[in-house]
Amino acid sequence: MHISDLTEMLIDFRDRREWKKYHTPKNLALSVAIEVGELLELFQWKKDDEILRELENDDYRSRIGEEISDVLIYLLPLAHECRIDVEKAIVDKIKKNEQKYPER
């Protein structure tokens, strides 16, 4: 499945519920930030070695997966509303970073 397929699924889900009026770029960006905060809570106050140990726990990994999904569930419609081709934007950014940070 491609990013564009996921975006289409999310837009269809949203539109069938008549939520488009709430999905303004500002509201979606705020929602991304809120969901990133919830993701960060899962790592708050933990040392890297503690996190690595906890990642062996299916429940902990599942909670992280849910929060990452929540971030993308708002981020992909944000890109859609801003008419950003996410796949192209990522490839372009990688190319830009290759120029900015050449291999050693």
pLDDT tens, N- to C-terminus, the chain (104 residues): 899 999 999 999 999 999 999 999 999 999 999 999 999 999 999 999 999 999 999 999 999 999 999 999 999 999 999 999 999 999 999 999 999 999 98
Using an 8 Å Cβ cutoff, are 9 and 2 in contact? no
Number of domains in the chain: 1
Q: What is the CATH number of the domain that holds 12?
A: 1.10.287.1080
Query: What is the reported pTM?
Result: 0.90
- Residue 24: give the domain boundaries: 3-100
Please give the Cα distance from 15 to 21 (Å, whole number).
Answer: 9
